[in-house]
Amino acid sequence: MHLQESGEMYLETIYVLTKKLGVVRSIDICEEMGYSKPSVSRAMSILKEGGYIVVEKGGHIILTDAGRQVAEKIYSRHTLLTKFLTGIGVDAETAAEDACKLEHHISDVTYEAIKKHIGL
């Protein structure tokens, strides 16, 4: 199953919230992303069907290995692109917003070239 950009964003959000909170529930995702409960519920169903998350009995959302792999890739790209953009003089807020847009569309070749350029 190929994930759309929104699916990647949800996985990245679950990843970040898991690091921050330890356990993640749908309401946490709603609050973090500013989306309605029905929108998040639908997205969680799609991610569950795709094998990217597991929802435990208590409503805790856990990334599967496949989900974690995608989330870590997107989060890594976001972090690196933000660092790169601030390094060339973009203010932090704009850099984070632009990195969020770029992280889903940048090719692996360009991403690796940026990593090499900044010495990572």
Correct CATH for 5-68 of 1.10.10.10, 1.10.3080.10, 1.10.150.530, 3.30.750.24? 1.10.10.10
Domain 70-117 classification at class level: mainly alpha
Domain boundaries along the sequence of the chain: 5-68, 70-117
Amino acid letter, 44: M
Does residue 1 surpass a pLDDT of 70? Answer: no
Rg (CA), the chain: 15
Whole-number pLDDT of residue 104: 84
pLDDT, one tens digit per residue, over 43-86 is: 999 999 999 999 998 899 999 999 999 999 999 999 999 999 99
